[in-house]
Amino acid sequence: MAPISSRSALILIVIAQFLGTSLWFAGNAAAPELEFILGQKDLVPLITSMVQLGFVAGTFLYAFFSIPDRFAPSDVFFFSAILAAVSNLVLLIMPLQLTWVIGSRFLTGFFLAGIYPVGMKIASDYFEKGLGSALGFLVGALVLGTGFPFFLKAFEVAISWKVLLFSTSGLAIGSGVLVGFGIPNGPYRKINPKLDFGLLPSFAKNPRLKGAAGGYFGHMWELYTFWAFLPVLILFLTQGKIEGSTQAFWTFSIIAAGGVSCAVGGLFSVKKGSEKVALVSLLGSGFCALILLIAPEIPSPVVFPFLLVWGIWVTADSPQFSTLVAQSVQPEHRGTALTLVNCLGFGLTIVSIQTAGFLSDFLQVKVYLGLLAIGPFMGLLIYRYFKKKKV
């Protein structure tokens, strides 16, 4: 495959990341119809957690065997995208039963492990400098891809759950083709040819890595629970006065605003540094959750702007913490480090989502989502603690 410029590679990765990660919340957008057909209630927490659990299992195995560092990352991305698309289509092939819904979402999440962190690995192979900016665009594409199913549902054109799953699988296959056949190995790629089972334990002795990971974990405690329960929060804050299509459009807009903020934050990181952008964003999102918790009521005209601001802050730190993770290890270990940190971070999202689901039986949505502020503030403390440690 002929070499390409870093700019061309980034454009292709960004497009592919958007297409591939549209699989992430496809099940959530299809959940209302699936609940009706299956006669089940409250499928969203279960569906979301299955994707997260699959992603955790996938990233653990990818990291344990150092797959992104030992094999050509474009090939890993290609095969993972194809398998994720097929897993998403299982519900169109097999009888529609709850077990198949759970299995399909788990496998989709499992193979997404070869799309998101591997995409960041590919970017790090092309950018020796300006990685924070590159990952800002890359994670921004992930965020937009995550919200895309809600964009489809926002239109009152009859989009069935089958069409939704079929279209997102088609996009994922396209993403695999773009990367697999369009992006060769980057000029800064360092191959790690051997399987080193001592690599993961050695990461635990790296204070820079632990600090960056701690900040990322605080961010992840908040992010996916905020996204998963966002439609419920919108309905609560508007007192049920908006229609389903408007609710879906609001959900997409708030998530998409975070995609834009990732890119803008990446540009700021070039001058201000990834650390500053990450910490300011983490603090901003923590305060948004705190406001939701302590404010007696959010006035109707302020609801959408408030959630939009929260959507902006809640994601802008993600690519910058990933940049700090990548910069804390040797180049030949970046793929493994990024994948491992993703594994642990997404594992936290399962606990957070299930905790919110449990608390929803006892508390108002503004209270149990307001408690998400614990994550960002703990992330800030952990980052500051390990920053003082010497390597």
Separation CA 63–CA 343 (nearest Å): 8
What dihedral angle (degrees, nearest 10) is formed by the CA atoms of 230, 234, 237, 241? -160
pLDDT value at residue 84: 95
Separation CA 144–CA 317 (nearest Å): 16
> Residues, the chain, total?
391
Could you report the average pLDDT of every consecutive run of 10 residues in the chain (391 residues)? 83 88 78 81 80 90 86 93 93 84 92 90 84 86 74 67 86 93 86 67 85 94 90 87 79 90 90 91 95 87 92 93 89 84 88 88 89 94 82 52
pLDDT value at residue 198: 67
State the CATH class of domain 6-189+196-387: mainly alpha
pLDDT value at residue 197: 64
Report the Cα–Cα distance between both ends of the chain, in Å, rounded.
40
Within a 10 A sphere around the Cβ of 157, how many other Cβ atoms? 9
Residue partners of 151: CB distance under 8 A and separation at least 6: 248, 249, 252, 256
The answer to whether 255 and 147 are in contact (CB under 8 A) is yes
pLDDT value at residue 391: 52
User: In the chain, what are the domain boundaries?
Assistant: 6-189+196-387
pLDDT value at residue 354: 84
For the four alpha carbons of 225, 230, 231 and 234, in that order, the dihedral sign comes to positive
Place of tokens 């069935």: 160
Take residue 87 and report the two structure tokens written for it: 């897993």
Long-range contacts of range 198-203, CB-CB < 8 Å, 24 or more positions apart? 199/66, 199/333, 199/336, 200/63, 200/64, 200/336, 200/340, 203/329, 203/337, 203/340
pLDDT value at residue 315: 93
pTM of the shown model? 0.84
